[in-house]
Structure 1
């Protein structure tokens, strides 16, 4: 059996844990640089605040409906998520963290357990230890556990936050209830094609023939169909090494001078290199991206990217940063006000196992230097050692004018009990 544990209105719930006055109040959480709404409490949804709403257009609406608006407090959300996931590991060793607020659990050898009661224990412990409310859906497959979780979330009074699909009758009833567009793994394009075939519910999807699904779509959709039928085909994901690593950011303000952009690109490239070393990978190429503010239609627009290949795989901040800066100089256009830049490292291979080149190789001094820098930065935090083309006084700062305190990750923001 599988369970999906989902934190209810996670970002809003994190804010409420440390500020109880926000309970039952409509809450909205904004994206990077306080751009648009990325999370809403049930109360905010009820008054009609849409997902993705640009806050500058909906400011008066939020004031009229007394919606409390917050900047994204990622240090707080990440720490609270980590606490929830550590609690889940106490109930089963088989846990797949699916997102910041969701995790799949697999129950092997739990045949004699009352899983509905066990799910209630999970909810109670998480709520007691962290203050975060959750819903638990239990079923024979991952896809069905998603469906069960939606039922638990939709009918909290009837289910008490836990719903178990344990029989064929309950499976069919659940699949007939859930709309095809709400099924996990079915995107907009796929739902249009399925609706054209007459599929309006998850149950309709399971009535299609296996051969037609495989021939029309792919093995992925066939596995989803079998999972919804109660035949487990989607297993827990094993931790894997990333195939590409990206660092992309929007500027707090637009920049048109190349020096500022070069410094940011160097910083982002260095960040990618540090992530490479952390997962013991090296890259064959980097992609550098640069774009203007697409929301300012009255200004000249420019969106461009370029690829740089290395003759040998590398994880050196020195090499990756130098090539990224050279790349951005080649695509920079004078007079454009740029809003977003990014660096992606790709073509990843294990650092200790790759094809050597007869004529080109990395400077052997780079490896011990990078290792020493990583050790010092981990020990003292805050990237104390930087490259010469980075601003030594500057750290990346988003516009966060509505930021709540970092209650659990900054000693200066910790709650004081009087």
Structure 2
């Protein structure tokens, strides 16, 4: 049996942990630059606020209903996610983090445990240790566990747990799930299956020929079909996959035209990429830089350009990455445009241990490596970018718009909430 533990309205729940006065009140969290609603409390959903709805379209509703609005605070959310996942990992034999707010747990080694009680224990423990409410769905496969979790949210909000541990309960779960709500079935497959008369997941399991599924939906659909029948087909990924590319890009808080401000943003993004590379112990062989105007402003002249530069040697040192990123910017920047977005990508990543140094690079490389190790250590202790390169500057114009940002309550000592 497999459990899927999903944090309820995760970003909103994180904000409520440190501000209990928000409990029972409408709350939304906005995306980068305070653009769209990406997390909504149940009270906000009842007001009709939709996922990804632009904030400017609901401005009057926000004021009328006194909806609490927060800018996205990913530092806080990432740390709270880590805490939630750690609590769960201590309660189950094996677990796989699926996303920032979801984790699969393998319960096959807990045969003598009442699974619904176990689900309640997990829910209660996460709540006590982190303050984050979660829902637990338990079923024979990952796909069915996803469906069980959704069923628990919709039909058992009080208990927050549903275990489809018998054939009868699995059939009931399948019959209660519309074909478009099955994990892995997108709009295209939904249209195909609905057109053939498949209304629920149970219809698909009972009536669809496997040969037809493979022909129309490929091997991915066949795997989904087996999962719905209780046959495990999705493998466990206990180790994090090594990324092949890393990207850091942002839309600017304001339109900018000056090259030095664009350079500040490129330097910041390059430094962020370098930090990620060192954390994952990988190195990049190529650096890609892009720059663009706002395509939704037809009154402005439009420009989009990018360039990829080969590195003489694969590296994760910000000193070397900045050199090439700044060179790339010199090659693509043009005066006279209102720039809205820029980004940096690290391409063709390889493990750090596979990098071969040249005869003349050894001494300077070791020196720069020690420098970056110290910079990373200091920033980890005193805060992000406290120690940075001069070209990064402060860049108030290109920074994200975060008008309602909450504190870094779990990662900054001076922002820890004090009891009085």
TM-score (norm 2): 0.91
In 1: Cα distance, 2:209 partner to 2:322 partner: 53
Q: Which residue of 2 aligns with 1:77?
A: 77
In 2: Cα distance, 1:169 partner to 1:160 partner: 20
Q: Which residue of 2 aligns with 1:34?
A: 34
In 2: Cα distance, 1:226 partner to 1:301 partner: 49
User: Could you say what secondary structure the match of 1:170 adopts?
Assistant: helix
Residue pair 1:308, 1:327 contacting (<8 A) in 2 also: yes
Cα deviation 1:103-130 (Å, max 9, x = unaligned): 1111132111101000000111111222
In 1: Cα distance, 2:364 partner to 2:395 partner: 24
Residue pair 1:104, 1:236 contacting (<8 A) in 2 also: no
Q: Which residue of 1 aligns with 2:203?
A: 204
In 2: Cα distance, 1:387 partner to 1:363 partner: 22
Counterparts of 1:301-320 in structure 2, within 5 Å, are: 301-320=302-321
Does residue 365 of structure 2 align to residue 364 of structure 1? no
User: Could you say what secondary structure the match of 1:352 adopts?
Assistant: helix
In 2: Cα distance, 1:291 partner to 1:328 partner: 12
Structure 1's 364 and 27: CA in aligned 2 closer, same or farther, altered over 3 A?
same
Counterparts of 1:236-315 in structure 2, within 5 Å, are: 236-238=236-238, 239-315=240-316
Counterparts of 1:180-195 in structure 2, within 5 Å, are: 180-195=179-194
Larger mean Cα displacement after TM superposition, 75-84 or 364-373: 364-373
In 1: Cα distance, 2:310 partner to 2:193 partner: 42
In 2: Cα distance, 1:261 partner to 1:250 partner: 11
Cα deviation 1:308-341 (Å, max 9, x = unaligned): 2335433332332222222222222321111111
Structure 1's 402 and 187: CA in aligned 2 closer, same or farther, altered over 3 A?
same
Structure 1's 18 and 318: CA in aligned 2 closer, same or farther, altered over 3 A?
closer
Cα deviation 1:47-78 (Å, max 9, x = unaligned): 11122222123211111122111111222222
Deviation at 1:396, TM superposition (A): 8.1
In 2: Cα distance, 1:90 partner to 1:398 partner: 37
User: Could you say what secondary structure the match of 1:220 adopts?
Assistant: helix
Q: Which residue of 1 aligns with 2:106?
A: 106
TM-score (norm 1): 0.91
Deviation at 1:294, TM superposition (A): 3.3
Q: Which residue of 2 aligns with 1:218?
A: 218
- The alignment's C-alpha RMSD in Å is 2.4
Q: Tell me the matched-pair count.
A: 414
In 1: Cα distance, 2:229 partner to 2:102 partner: 23
Q: Which residue of 2 aligns with 1:86?
A: 86
